Structure 1
Amino acid sequence: MPIRLPTAVLLVGTCIAYGADPPAPWVADDGDGGYKNPVLYADYSDPDVAGADGDYYLTASSFNCVPGLPILHSRDLVNWELVNHALPRLYDGDAFDIPRHGDGVWAPSFRHHDGWWYIYWGDPDLGIYMVRTQDPGGEWSKPVLVKKASGNIDACPLWDDDGRVYMVHAFAHSRAGVNSLLTVVELNKEGTQAIDKGWIVFDGHAEHPTVEGPKFYKRNGYYYIFAPAGGVAEGWQIVLRSKNVRGPYEVRRVLAQGDTDVNGPHQGAWVEAPDGSSWFMHFQEKQPYGRIVHLQPMRWVDDWPVMGDDPDGDGEGQPVLHHKKPVASEAVKVPATSDDFEREELGLQWQWHANPHADWASLTARPGWLRLTAAKLPAGYRNLWDAPHLLLQKFPAPEFTASCVIDPQAMRPGETAGLLIMGLDYAYVGLEKSTEGLRVVRRACRNADRGTAESDDDLVRLDDATPVELGVEVDAGGRCRFSARCGDESWSDLGDAFAAREGKWIGAKVGVFCHGTADGRGHADFERFTVSPVAE
């Protein structure tokens, strides 16, 4: 049965009062000196944190998404703002001008040393890279290739007391042919180049398979390597320690799921608060939301870390869901989601699926609106999995709504623009222009990574090119319902509920797009992208 919007709805103009930004759909700060986990209910995968003078900065894997290496800032490890990206583009050349899902930036480490902030990461196909700056919120250096290699990933440096510099890294079996091994190499004193072939310090095959994501520390004369093992969804956190950087290393499990619902608690950062207390930030895989970030209290017992709650006192902790904040009396902050498009640059929450073209988006052509030029579909296009021009952001909460107004007046035949939920499966509600006029469409694609075609849903013809508001409501578990309306009329649901699904190593995303099949391109204008809590 065709979906039909009432004719009266289609003919009225857009008349929507927005006012101030809506409340955030997820806030970890409970407002009474405590917090709830996760502190970031968003896909900041493989997080690492560096701190100095009471300021903390977090970065995370960004894979093929651009800009890459997000930089978040906090004063209390609970309230975080997205303030920058360290990697505006993925390298020189055209290799990432098309989506290379799951490639690019893997498991970075964040360090502060001698006035400089450093990020190291492994690209599984190219090697280990580094960027640095003296201002995390400012410009970062261009990437330096520290170690050229295939399959070297998850790199983390350590500046030793004698001035020597070391780096631990893991291996990706898909490229190197081995995994579950940790290797330490020595770098030059600038930290820009590996100067030896390294040595294996840990083999996890027997008891800690898939050991990866190592972080390097030194405390009380011990070298420590914190590392996850056992797999992303089901694993645990181990800690290695030795008096010699070359080992041998003792090993202990220090964090596991225990009696909680927090699966695979591992891979993250040991951080010290100004009062000297220790904390551990880690991720939990929670598809389709990706890898969300938790904060655990941590203490030291006999020079071993104990993380979270340890009810039986055996040294292996389990995650806590609520706790007192590390630092009191900080303002409540969250990463941005809504965007009023009033600035001359896109908000930091937005990422493309590949290196963008300058003419894809404009915030100055029509002030207060985002103009997306209809990007020409790439050669060999099968579905949106192949599209680099998707403008997306992370799911920000277990439940939320997202909406935007789209003005289709300048769209040309063969062009489509809309509001999208993107992952290995995807769905969207949008406007499609043909020689017969303009239509509302709601389409879905299952197993997009395999090249399957989009569903051919019923279409709703519009009587003119009036702006239309598009919306999606995401319920717990990632169930999505799309809708549309014109002006301030009632919403009309479009299609059945869609189950969001994660992407390649990332969570599902929400955002907008505009594309076409012709060389002579039109455009669609988007007014204010609004993310809100689900109404009770």
Structure 2
Amino acid sequence: MLFTKKATAILLVLCMLLLQSIFVYGWQSDNGDGTFNNPPLYADYPDPSIIRVDNYFYMASSTFVGVPGLVILKSEDLVNWEIAGHCISSFTGDKAYNLEGGTKYGNGCYAPSIAYKNGTFYVAVTPNGERTRIYYAKDVAGPWNYNLLGGSYFDPCLFIDDDGSAYLVYGGAWENQIRMVQLNSDLSVTVGSPRVILSYKNVEGAHLSKVNGRYYLFNAVPAQRLVCSRANNVWGPYGETITLCTAGKGGHQGGIVDLPDGSYWGYLHQDDGAIGRPTRICPITWQDGWPKFGRPGFIGQVESKYTKPIQDKPIKVPAASDEFNSDSLGLQWMWNHNPDNSKWSLTGSSLRLKAVTAKDFWNARNSLTQKGQGPISTGTIKIDCSGMQPGDICGLGMLGDPRGYIAVTRNPKRIIMTEEEVVKATVNNITSDILYFRIEMNFINKQAKFFWKDDNRDWQQLGPSITMGFDWQYGTFQGEQYAIMNFNPNGSSGYMDVDWFRLNDIPGDNHTPQPTPTPSPRQAFTKIEAESYNNHLGIQIEKCSEGGENIGYIEDGDYVVYKNIDFGSGAESFQARVASAADGGNIELRLDSINGPLIGTCPVVGTGDWQTWSTVTCDVSEVKGTHDLYLKFTGGSGYLFNLNWFTFIEGNNDGYLGDLNGDGSINSTDLQLLKRHLLGIIELTGENLLNADVNKDSKVSSTDFTLLKRYILRIITVF
């Protein structure tokens, strides 16, 4: 599917301004105008290794303990990528890979290296603490087999010279050395003894390239910089070393790849907090025989936007959403460890996950994961939990460090939200078997939020936001991931059916969204319950001490929307019932959009408790007719206040400008009456004629008609 430049630009603006919590697309780097935005893949694709074979680029990336693992991606232009396959079908040699007797998070597939020789793709990888494997296949989509080498080579770089000779370059940062060993012709065993080819403090992550007869060795100094050494012989000496870029300006762990026109581009990953380490690319500028990262004038910098390396290739993004109606899982999915294949199946219309026995989410096998995407993304699932048994915990998790989930339980049937296995919020009296769970990952403010709904109720946030992070030592060594999970601490034969997973609510090919009906108008001068909103960002509903419910857990920047509020002939003030155990904040009253006209700001002060209620008021500027009302909440950090209800106080108006038939509303009927008056078909008289003079210049003319039309179309909000 091709997305227009305009649609992409709108998406990016919405993401960066945080104007809404639901987006139509995932990250698309290609702007559709010959340029792209870095990173090409706004997700955790660390330790990249990229080669070109004819007119295609292929990238291998670390996937750690995920299965199937060691992802291979394919692109025609280094910008538009799609997932082609995985090399690793399972991990062997340690029961912890099956989540038996421990976990292997942060282990598994590290820093792979891809190469090509005589019609065969090769990928070298060293599962952490194990012997190095060299996978091989005729097609990157697989099937893949592998040769097991006799040693364990840290961060192996697979290099094949012009004469077909193959080498393995390797070394860890603690060694302060990079070594190389030769491989035999079919890359199945090493030949001879390793040699030290570079001594340099803290280097690892080697990449070796040959350009115009000279060898260039790229190495990462982790989280600090990318350096390059060069030599005229593959064995060195690599006596000269320069810094190509620092982690702050570009990143580390990368190399270069040639384009069909003979130019070069660089690639590397950049530490980026909770999302992980996305891969970025940039043009290479050759200076004094060195491949400098960046364009002239910006050497050492990997910028956020460039002209595409190759033009006129189709826009592609990796698969993300899945309707689960195929006979295989999409390539975007990885199990959190080796799966128990007896505990899951595809029914033809859904994914059936049987409950696995585990003490908690962290130790639960068969959690089905995919990468969170930046800058903001939402993952949503629809489930049928009628097959659950007592003790089952099934739903949608965020796997990383920290971690959390929103899930349904049985006996009692309720929905819970957890952080680090601690229940933070609960909804009781759940009756529906069809439930929807959503997690919003906002990598701009590092906050994750958890939501639920059923077919009778709109989305509700549950529990507090979780501040997302990244932990290589005790976490997963990956960016935060979505995880569909079902476990039971005591064992169970229960199951849940997952109808679909949608990233940013992208529907399946055969899904036709139903139009949302326009809500009936509501009078501004009646008491409007705060929980009766039509849309919102960030708030939750809770029980109110004054009866019914109120909205709470309000933070700076959250908002609620009430559609079609009829202000009649005008409002002069606003009242709200509020409570706050903190310092309070402000309620901004805006019309028709979150950045629409500001008609008033109502201050809220602390009341001593979250359920100690007080009424606050403020004046509002002139507002008439029907509008969507946005209440935007602003203030300091933490929760601000709760809101029970609000109303407006009607102004004392001698006339109602624009209301030409005296029905209390301004709409297309009034516009037609004014048109007929101006054409001499009918004649307005009395108060109706006075109300037709909307610009108050003591005459009724085409200017009034234009203003009235613009008002009805909501181009203007006052006359």
- Superposed CA deviations along residues 513-535 of structure 1, whole A, max 9, x for unmatched, are 00113444100111211111899
Assess if the C-alpha contact under 8 Å between 2:226 and 2:254 holds in 1: no
The reply to whether residue 225 of structure 1 matches residue 206 of structure 2 is no
- What is aligned with 2:434? 467
The 1:39/1:458 distance shift into structure 2, 3 A limit, reads closer
User: 1:375-390 alignment to 2 at 5 Å?
Assistant: 375-377=356-358, 381=359, 383-390=360-367
The match for 1:189 is 185
Q: How do residues 44-55 of structure 1 correspond to structure 2 at under 5 angstroms?
A: 44-55=45-56
The aligned runs of 1:410-489 (5 Å cut-off) are 410-434=387-411, 437-445=412-420, 454-475=421-442, 476-487=444-455, 489=457
Shift of 1:360: 2.4
The one-letter amino acid paired with 2:262 is: G
Q: Distance in 2 between matches of 1:48 and 1:419?
A: 32
| In 2, Cα distance between equivalents of 1:135 and 1:53 | 14
Give the corresponding residue for 1:111: 115
The one-character-per-residue Cα deviations of 1:123-143 (angstroms, maximum 9, x if unpaired) are: 2311221101111123111x3
Counterpart of 1:148 in structure 2 is 151
Which residue number corresponds to residue 377 of structure 2? 400
Q: Which residue number in structure 2 is paired with residue 323 of structure 1?
A: 306
Deviation at 1:51, TM superposition (A): 1.6
Query: In 2, distance between residues paired with 1:197 and 1:124?
Result: 22
Contact 2:156 2:171 in 1 (8 A): yes
1:508 equivalent to 2:480? Answer yes
By how many angstroms is 1:288 displaced? 0.3
- Tell me the residue number matched to 1:277: 263
- Write the mapping of 1:55-454 to structure 2, written as runs, cut at 5 A: 55-91=56-92, 94=95, 96-98=97-99, 99-141=103-145, 143-149=146-152, 152-171=153-172, 178-205=174-201, 210-229=202-221, 231-232=222-223, 235-257=224-246, 262=248, 265-311=251-297, 317-364=300-347, 367-377=348-358, 381=359, 383-434=360-411, 437-445=412-420, 454=421
Using the size of structure 2 for normalisation, the TM-score is 0.64
Answer yes or no: is the 8 Å Cα contact 1:398–1:478 preserved in 2: no
**Conserved 8 A contact 2:227-2:243:** yes
Contact 1:238 1:251 in 2 (8 A): no
RMSD: 2.2
State the alpha-carbon separation in 1 of the partners of residues 184 and 386 from structure 2.
58
Contact map agreement 2:394 2:486 (CA 8 A) in 1: yes
Question: CA contact under 8 A between 2:249 and 2:302: conserved in structure 1?
Answer: no
Pick one of 491, 494, 517 that aligns with 2:462: 494
Aligned residue in 2 for 1:11: none
Change (3 A) 1:186 1:79: same
Give, in angstroms, the shift of residue 465 of structure 1: 4.0
Deviation of the 1:473 alpha carbon:
1.8
For the residues of structure 2 that align with 1:390 and 1:466, how far apart are their CA atoms? Answer: 21
Residue 519 of structure 2 corresponds to none
Identity of aligned residues (%): 30
Q: What is the rounded CA distance, in whole Å, between the counterparts of 1:62 and 1:463 in structure 2?
A: 37
Aligned-pair CA distance for 1:69 = 0.8
**How far has the Cα of 1:41 moved from its partner?**
0.6
Work out the CA distance in 1 between the residues paired with 2:155 and 2:379.
34
Q: Which residue type is aligned with residue 349 of structure 2?
A: G
3-state SS in 1 of match to 2:278: strand
Q: Which amino acid aligns with 2:232?
A: K
Distance 1:530 1:310 in 2: 42
CA gap 1:326/1:458 in 2 versus in 1, 3 angstroms:
closer
Q: Is the 8 A contact 2:447 2:468 kept in 1?
A: yes
Name the CA distance, whole Å, in 2 between partners of 1:488 and 1:264: 49
Cα distance between partner residues in 2 of 1:463 and 1:123? 45
* Of 77-86 and 294-303, the range deviating more from structure 2: 294-303
- Cα 1:524/1:188, change in 2 over 3 Å: same
User: CA contact under 8 A between 2:432 and 2:454: conserved in structure 1?
Assistant: no
Mapped to 1, the partners of 2:88 and 2:346 lie a distance apart of 21
1:530 alignment partner in structure 2: 502
Alignment size in residue pairs: 479
2:364–2:487 CA contact under 8 A, matched in 1:
no
Q: As a proportion of its length, which structure holds more helix?
A: 2
CA shift, 1:58, in A, is: 0.9
Shift in Å, 1:483? 1.2
Q: AA paired with 1:467?
A: I
Q: Is the 8 A contact 1:66 1:353 kept in 2?
A: yes
Counterpart-to-counterpart distance in 2, 1:486 and 1:456: 21
Any conservation in 2 of the 1:473–1:482 contact (CA below 8 Å)? yes
Letter in 2 for 1:532: N
1:71 touches 1:85 (CA, 8 Å); kept in 2? yes
CA distance in 2, matches of 1:413, 1:461: 15
Deviation at 1:211, TM superposition (A): 0.8
Distance 1:167 1:439 in 2: 55
Measured against aligned partners, the alpha-carbon deviations of 1:357-393 in whole angstroms (never above 9, x if no partner) come to: 11222112xx32111100111xxx4x42222321111
Residues 95 and 187 (structure 1), Cα distance of their counterparts in 2 relative to 1, 3 Å cut: farther
**Match of 1:144, as an amino acid?**
N
Partners in 2 of 1:124 and 1:489 — Cα distance?
47
Distance 1:353 1:463 in 2: 29
Is 1:57–1:71's contact at 8 Å kept on the other side of the alignment? yes
Aligned amino acid, residue 349 of structure 1: Q
SS at the partner of 1:202? strand
Structure 1 distance, partners of 2:82, 2:161, is 31
Contact 1:256–1:317 (Cα < 8 Å) also in 2: yes
In the alignment, the residues of structure 2 paired with residue 309 and residue 161 of structure 1 have an alpha-carbon distance, to the nearest angstrom, of 28
Hey, what's the Cα distance between the residues in 1 that align with 2:75 and 2:295?
A: 24
CA contact 2:51–2:57 (8 Å) conserved in 1: yes
Question: What residue identity is the alignment partner of 2:282?
Answer: Q
Please state how far the C-alpha of 1:426 moved relative to its aligned partner.
Answer: 0.9
Assess if the C-alpha contact under 8 Å between 1:254 and 1:307 holds in 2.
no
The alignment partner of 2:156 has SS state of: strand
> 1:80/1:470 Cα in 2 relative to 1: closer, same or farther (>3 Å)?
same
Which SS does the other structure have where 1:285 is aligned? coil
The structure having more radius of gyration, on CA atoms, is 2
| Structure 1 segments unaligned to the other structure (5+ residues) | 1-20, 173-177, 446-453
Question: 8 Å contact 1:263–1:284 — kept in the other structure?
Answer: no
Task: Judge conservation of contact 2:415–2:430 (CA < 8 Å) in 1.
Answer: no
Q: Give secondary structure in 1 for the equivalent of 2:418.
A: strand
Relative contact order, CA 8 A, sep 6+: which one is greater?
Answer: 1
